[in-house]
Structure 1
Amino acid sequence: MDTNVDGIMDLVTSYAIKIALAVVVYIVGKWLANLIADTMEKTMSAKNVDATVARFTRNISYYALLTMVIIAAMGQLGVQTASFVAVIGAAGLAIGFALQGSLANFAAGVLLILFRPFKAGDFIEAGGASGVVKEISIFSTILTTGDNKLIVIANNAVMGGNIVNYSALPTRRVDMVVGVGYSADLALVKKTLQELVEADERILKDPAATIAVSELADSSVNFVLRPWVNTPDYWGVFFDLNEKIKIRFDELGIEIPFPQMDVHIEKQA
């Protein structure tokens, strides 16, 4: 009887020690994983790495380390970790098949965060929508439109098509077409457009604006007007130039024609 009791006590003591060690490994390991992940995020933030990248790296690192800690803790309990890892792999494979769409969005989110084709605050066109990037998350990209609507686009849709980033470069070219009547003095038109460009301080001197006849259209002679501006000034210059051109042309009597057709009627003798 005493032998049985001693055996049971030894067994209980042995398992108690294993459980205690497993708890210690888990608690200390989790604390270290959190410390390492937080340190990585703070270091990246101190080096002016984008907040989305820093947060994403922190979360991935934390969960990867936590997984290793859990496996180590289970090893202290005598669990065959090799079998456990195999079970996790099989479960992950099954979950992967069930969540193919979500995983595709996750993979696209990782690529967006790594390659950074755009960042929060950029005005972009992607996934069939356009707007200012509000947030880049793991599964979706959130845009806000000019009329303050929120658009949520799956990351897979963003990466699966063309991405146009209007804010990526410091300068942009304003492309305008100005039509005048065939009776207009082309030299005067060109001079007037040049004066309007030079009078606007937001328009850059280098590169110089392009002002040229581009087309002899059905109802008008079309000029291209292509000044360069700093990206934030794009729409302001575009709207103001349209208004100033109309006002100035009216003052000079330069006709801006509308589509029209000349009809010639022949009288039969």
Structure 2
Amino acid sequence: MQENEPVDSLKDVIETPLRDLEYVTNLLITKGSEIGWSLVSAILTLTVGFWLANRIRKIVEKRMIARDVDLSIRTFLIPIINIVLKVIIVIFVVDRLGLNASGFIAAIGGVGLAVGLALQGSLSNFAAGILIIIFKPFKVGDYIISQGLEGTVESISILNTKLATAKGQVITLPNGNLFNNPITNYSVKEFRRLDVNIGISYDDDFEEAQKVILEVLRKEELVEKDQNMTVEILEFADSSVNLAVRCMIKNENYWTAYWRLHRNIKYALDKNNISIPYPHTEMIVRNSSNDQLPIND
């Protein structure tokens, strides 16, 4: 019996690692298949879920369009709906993987709190965006002026508002700054007043100039005839009598009427020999014989 002991111990030395290796292999196969199936299931769920989220977003957007929901509200709410749907899908996938979904939600909340403290300005912009949507000081398509900047509102997003200028530029304004500063909205009313300031010579007849300019206004089809039309003296300047020309134009016709009236008033004044003076200086030179010689520049 003693002679067989070395053989038995050698056999145990060889078989024991083999049994351990077999156990580990079976465990890996079993767990690996479970983990692999969970991963495949999670990926499929995520893919299908994101596809469904996009479909829901498109359906909601179409319903909003069909119900004639304001474009400003649509452009603001649709991205938020999209984000919320995708966050719900991610939480569901985390739960399918066997992870602690509540812990994941708590982690997201903690990260969100930290990011919120770091980006307080962005949160104020988000809050201002909500207030803009609720109180509607302007909407997409309106022509506004704020903080010395002007343009047509192109979009109102979660954090900022974009203005398209007449020069073809796009100005991005933070919602917080925009909401907390005065806003001039030219699109709220149907009509907008067009101002033309023009000077005539002191030697010209004001009533004749008034008659000529009023005739130009009456002939211009873009000028609203049932609204007040004014041509009066605005001020007495150094080199001219400045006239204030005022009339009402529909918002969509403003710039077309602006260019037309400036051009046509100039043509009409020239045709009637009413001059538009330019600044000039009169100097008087005294010579030794006390004669005064005027020199016009």
- TM-score, structure 2 normalization: 0.67
Q: Which residue does 2:178 correspond to in 1?
A: 158
Following superposition, the deviation at residue 175 of structure 1 comes to 0.8
Residue in 1 that maps onto 2:236: 216
What SS does the corresponding residue of 1:152 show, helix, strand or coil?
strand
The unaligned stretches of length 5 or more in structure 1 are: 1-18
Return the match for 1:239 from 259, 271, 275: 259
Q: CA deviation at 1:49?
A: 0.7
How many pairs were matched up? 250
* Aligned match of 1:6: none
Kindly state the Cα deviation for residue 204 of structure 1 after the two structures are TM-superposed. Answer: 0.7
Alignment of 1:99 with 2:90, yes or no, is no
> Equivalents in 2 of 1:204, 1:262: separation in Å?
43
Q: Does the residue aligned with 1:238 lie in a helix, a strand or coil?
A: helix
Query: Any conservation in 1 of the 2:76–2:156 contact (CA below 8 Å)?
Result: no
Letter of the structure 1 residue corresponding to residue 167 of structure 2: D
Q: Does 1:139 align with 2:159?
A: yes
Contact 2:195 2:247 in 1 (8 A): yes
Contact 1:41–1:57 (8 Å) recurs in 2: no
Match of 1:260 in 2: 280
* Mean CA deviation greater in 34-43 or 234-243: 34-43
Q: Whose radius of gyration is greater, 1 or 2?
A: 2
- Mapped pair 1:230 → 2:250: yes
Q: Which moved more, 1:228-237 or 1:114-123?
A: 114-123
The secondary structure found in structure 2 opposite 1:263 is strand
Question: 1:34 & 1:233 partners in 2: Cα distance?
Answer: 40
Report the CA distance between 1:113 and its aligned residue. 2.9
Which residue in 2 is equivalent to 1:5? none
Relative to structure 1, the CA distance from residue 39 to residue 262 in structure 2 (aligned partners, 3 Å threshold; closer, same or farther) is same
Cα root mean square deviation, aligned = 3.7
Structure 1 residue 251 corresponds to structure 2 residue 271: yes
For 2:138, which of 114, 118, 131 is the aligned residue? 118
Matched, 1:186 2:202: no
Deviation at 1:66, TM superposition (A): 6.7
1: distance between equivalents of 2:123 and 2:220? 50
Deviations 1:72-106 (A, max 9, x none): 9989979695x776655443322211122222222
Match of 1:167 among 187, 191, 202: 187
Bigger mean CA offset, 60-69 vs 50-59 = 60-69
- Measured against aligned partners, the alpha-carbon deviations of 1:161-184 in whole angstroms (never above 9, x if no partner) come to 222233332211111112111111
Q: Kindly state the Cα deviation for residue 57 of structure 1 after the two structures are TM-superposed.
A: 2.9
CA distance in 1, matches of 2:99, 2:216: 82
Q: Distance in 2 between matches of 1:56 and 1:214?
A: 45
Give the C-alpha shift of residue 259 in structure 1. 1.5
Relative to 1, partners in 2 of residues 1:232 and 1:80: Cα closer, same or farther, differing over 3 Å? closer
The secondary structure found in structure 2 opposite 1:227 is strand
Distance 1:181 1:55 in 2: 54
- One-letter amino acid of the structure 2 residue matched with residue 175 of structure 1: D
SS at match of 2:132: helix
- The AA in structure 2 aligned to 1:140 is N
Q: How does 1:200-211 map to 2 (within 5 A)?
A: 200-211=220-231
**Aligned equivalent of 1:60, options 70, 76, 80:** 80
Q: CA deviation at 1:199?
A: 1.0
Is 1:176 the counterpart of 2:202? The answer is: no
Q: Counterparts of 2:255 and 2:86 in 1: how far apart (Å)?
A: 49
Measured after TM superposition, the shift of residue 191 of structure 1 is 0.8
Is residue 194–residue 258 contact of structure 2 (8 Å, CA) maintained in 1?
yes
The CA distance in 2 between the partners of 1:58 and 1:145, in whole Å, is 25
Q: How has the CA–CA distance of structure 1 residues 132 and 53 changed in structure 2, closer, same or farther, with 3 Å as cutoff? A: same
For residues 213-266 of structure 1, what are the alpha-carbon distances to aligned partners after superposition, in whole Å with 9 as ceiling and x for unaligned? 121222111211101111122122222222222222222211211122333445
